[in-house]
C-alpha cells in the first residue's frame, strides 16, 4: 500500500496524472460520451422556414445570389456565384505554397465532421459523401475568404465584382444570414484552424464575422461587439445571441392580465413618455415611473429579412421567443405612420422621414403569421396598463375633489 502511495506521489511530482493510463474500456466510454454530446449539440439546428411564415414572402427567406449549405445547393438561379466561390477557395488555400497539403488537411477534417454536420439539418441531405464534403469546403472557405477580403483591402483582386458592383456586398450579407442558407459554425471554425491566415489578420472568426455584418445589425455596435464571441450553431444563430436580453423581466402578477397595450401616440396622450436609452441589448426595454425606456433601432433595407429569419430560428428551437416578442412589442406600439414619427422624434427609431409608412408596414408584415406562445414582455405590458389605471384613477379623484369644493 505504501509503495503504491509512493508511486502515485512520484507520478504527480513528474507531472503524470494518476489516470494517465487509460484502458480500452475508458476510451470506448469517452468516445461514446463525446458522440452523445456532439449529437445533442448538432441535431436539427438548421431548418426550412415553415410555410405559415413564408406566406408568399419568399424573398426574405430564399437566397437570390449565393447558396450556402445544401438546401439551395445547385439551383440554376444561383450558378453565377459558383465560379466566384471556387475563385475564393483557390485564393484562400493558395496563400501558402503547399496548397495540396492544406487541401488534403481540409478534406480530411471535413470527412471526420461529415456525419455530425449532416445531423444539423432537419431533413436528409441527398448528396454523396464526396459531394457533401466538397460543398462544405467550397462554401466554408468562400465565407472565410470573404471575411478576410472585407477586413483587409489589400487581399482584394482588382475589379472583384463582389466589392465593385454597387449593392452586391449588401445582397451577399443578406444571403449569408438567411436561416435556410447556413452551414454549421463548427465547420467554419475547423476550416479556420487549417487554412492559411493572412499575416495582417489578428482577429478571430467571430470578430471577422461581426466586422462583416455590423452595418446591418441593429442596436448599439459597442454592445454587440462585447457579445459576438459567444457560441452559436451557425452565423445567424451567432447573431441572434447578440440580442438576448441581459435580465429577466417581471412576470405577470395577475393571471389573465392583458397582453396588449395601446399604440405609442395613445400612450403618450395617457401621459406616458418615451425615452431613448443605451442598453446592453436591443431587447432591454424598461418602464419606469411612467417612462418607456427603449434602445434605438436603425431601420434599413434588410431589417425585414434579418428579423424574419431570427423569428424563424425561435419558431423551431428556442424556449423563449425573445426576438419574436420584441417585434410583437414594436408592432403593438406602431399602428400608423404617426406612431413612427413619434418614436423617430425620440430617436428610438432611426429611419428616413419619407419611409414612415414603410416602417409601419414592416412590423405589421413581420407579425402577420407569427404566434407568440410566451410573450417576454407580458409583465411589462401589465406594468403599463396598471400605471394607466392608476393615472386615470388619480385624475378622477382629483376631478371629484375639485367638484366638491
- Higher-pLDDT residue of 392 and 259 is 259
**What per-residue confidence (pLDDT) applies to 254?**
60
Model confidence at 15, in pLDDT bands (50, 70, 90)? very low
Burial of 195 (0-12, 13-18, 19+ CB in 10 A): buried
Q: Which three cell numbers stand for residue 88?
A: 475564393
Matching residue, cell 443578406: 174
Residue 202: which pLDDT band, with cuts at 50, 70 and 90?
very high
pLDDT band at 230 (very low <50, low <70, confident <90, very high): confident
Q: pLDDT tens digits for 231-289? A: 789 999 999 988 888 877 766 666 555 678 999 999 999 999 999 998 888 999 999 99
User: What does the pLDDT read at residue 219?
Assistant: 73
Residues 157, 166: Cα–Cα separation, whole Å: 16
Instruction: Using the predicted structure, report yes or no on whether residue 100 has a pLDDT greater than 90.
Output: yes
Q: Which range, 4-18, 104-118, 251-265, 345-359, has the best average confidence (pLDDT)?
A: 104-118
Task: Say yes or no to pLDDT of 203 above 90.
Answer: yes
Query: With 80 as the cut, is the pLDDT of residue 62 above it?
Result: yes
Would you call 310 helix, strand, or coil by DSSP? helix
Lowest mean pLDDT among 101-110, 242-251, 327-336, 359-368: 242-251
Q: Is pLDDT of 22 > 80?
A: no
As a whole number of angstroms, the distance between CA 48 and CA 62 comes to: 10
First to last CA, the chain: 97
Average pLDDT, integer, range 366-393: 84
Q: Give mean pLDDT, residues 381-387.
A: 91
Q: Which of 2, 9, 55 is nearest to 365 (CA)?
A: 55
Classified as helix, coil or strand, 247 is coil
pLDDT at 7: 43
For residue 401, the SS3 value is helix
- Position 117 confidence tier, pLDDT thresholds 50, 70, 90: very high
Per-residue pLDDT band at 404 (split at 50, 70, 90): low
Handedness of CA 94, 100, 102, 103 (dihedral sign): positive
Give the integer Cα–Cα distance in Å for 37 and 34: 5
Q: At what angle do helices 337-345 and 356-367 cross, to 10 degrees?
A: 110
pLDDT at residue 396 greater than cutoff 60? no
Cβ–Cβ under 8 Å, residues 303 and 170: no
Looking at the predicted structure, is the pLDDT value of residue 60 above 50? Answer: yes
- pLDDT given at position 256: 55
Residues 6+ away with beta carbon under 8 Å from 278: 220, 223, 295
Predicted model pTM = 0.84
Interval 207-217: pLDDT, tens:
999 999 988 88
Q: Is the pLDDT of residue 81 over 70?
A: yes
Q: Average pLDDT for residues 149-175, to the nearest whole number?
A: 95
Residue 12 pLDDT exceeds 60: no
Q: Kindly report the average pLDDT of the chain as a whole number.
A: 86
pLDDT at 31 over 80: no
pLDDT of residue 38: 60
Q: What is the pLDDT of residue 253?
A: 61
Residue 399 is predicted with a pLDDT of 45
In this prediction, residue 243 carries a pLDDT of 85
Q: What are phi and psi of 293, to 5 degrees?
A: -105, 110
Amino acid at each position: 500500500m505504501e509503495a503504491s502511495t509512493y508511486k502515485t506521489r512520484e507520478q504527480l511530482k513528474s507531472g503524470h496524472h494518476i489516470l494517465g493510463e487509460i484502458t480500452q474500456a475508458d476510451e470506448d466510454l469517452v468516445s461514446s460520451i463525446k458522440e452523445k454530446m456532439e449529437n445533442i449539440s448538432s441535431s436539427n439546428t438548421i431548418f426550412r422556414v415553415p410555410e405559415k411564415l413564408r406566406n408568399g414572402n419568399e424573398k426574405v427567406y430564399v437566397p437570390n445570389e449565393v447558396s450556402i449549405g445544401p438546401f439551395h445547393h445547385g439551383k440554376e438561379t444561383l450558378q453565377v456565384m459558383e465560379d466566384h466561390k471556387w475563385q475564393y477557395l483557390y485564393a484562400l488555400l493558395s496563400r501558402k505554397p503547399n496548397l495540396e497539403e492544406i487541401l488534403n488537411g481540409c478534406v480530411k477534417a471535413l470527412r471526420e465532421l461529415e456525419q455530425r454536420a449532416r445531423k444539423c439539418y432537419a431533413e436528409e441531405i441527398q448528396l454523396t459523401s464526396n459531394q457533401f464534403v466538397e460543398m462544405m469546403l467550397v462554401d466554408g472557405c468562400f465565407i472565410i475568404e470573404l471575411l478576410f477580403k472585407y477586413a483587409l483591402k489589400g487581399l482584394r483582386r482588382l475589379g472583384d465584382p463582389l466589392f465593385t458592383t454597387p449593392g452586391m456586398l449588401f445582397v451577399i450579407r443578406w444571403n449569408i444570414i438567411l436561416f435556410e442558407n447556413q452551414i454549421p459554425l463548427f465547420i467554419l471554425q475547423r476550416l479556420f484552424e487549417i487554412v492559411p491566415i493572412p499575416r495582417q489578420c489578428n482577429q478571430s472568426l467571430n470578430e471577422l464575422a461581426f466586422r462583416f455584418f455590423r452595418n446591418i445589425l441593429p442596436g448599439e455596435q459597442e454592445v454587440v461587439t462585447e457579445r459576438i464571441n459567444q457560441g452559436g450553431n451557425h452565423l445567424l444563430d451567432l447573431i441572434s445571441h447578440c440580442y438576448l436580453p441581459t435580465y429577466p423581466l417581471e412576470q405577470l402578477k395577475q393571471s389573465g392580465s392583458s397582453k396588449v397595450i395601446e399604440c405609442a401616440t395613445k400612450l403618450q396622450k395617457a401621459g406616458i413618455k418615451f425615452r431613448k436609452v443605451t442598453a446592453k441589448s436591443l431587447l432591454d426595454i424598461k418602464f419606469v415611473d411612467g417612462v418607456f425606456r427603449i434602445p434605438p433601432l436603425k431601420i434599413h433595407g434588410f431589417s425585414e429579412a434579418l428579423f424574419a429569419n431570427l423569428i424563424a430560428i425561435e419558431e423551431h428551437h428556442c424556449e423563449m421567443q425573445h426576438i419574436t416578442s420584441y417585434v410583437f412589442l414594436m408592432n403593438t406600439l406602431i399602428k400608423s405612420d404617426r406612431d413612427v414619427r413619434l418614436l423617430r422624434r425620440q430617436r428610438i427609431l432611426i429611419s428616413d422621414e419619407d419611409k414612415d409608412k414603410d416602417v409601419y408596414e414592416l412590423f405589421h408584415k413581420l407579425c402577420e403569421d407569427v404566434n407568440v406562445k410566451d410573450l417576454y414582455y407580458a409583465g411589462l405590458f401589465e406594468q403599463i396598463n396598471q400605471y394607466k389605471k392608476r393615472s386615470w384613477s388619480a385624475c378622477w379623484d382629483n376631478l371629484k375633489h375639485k367638484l366638491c369644493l
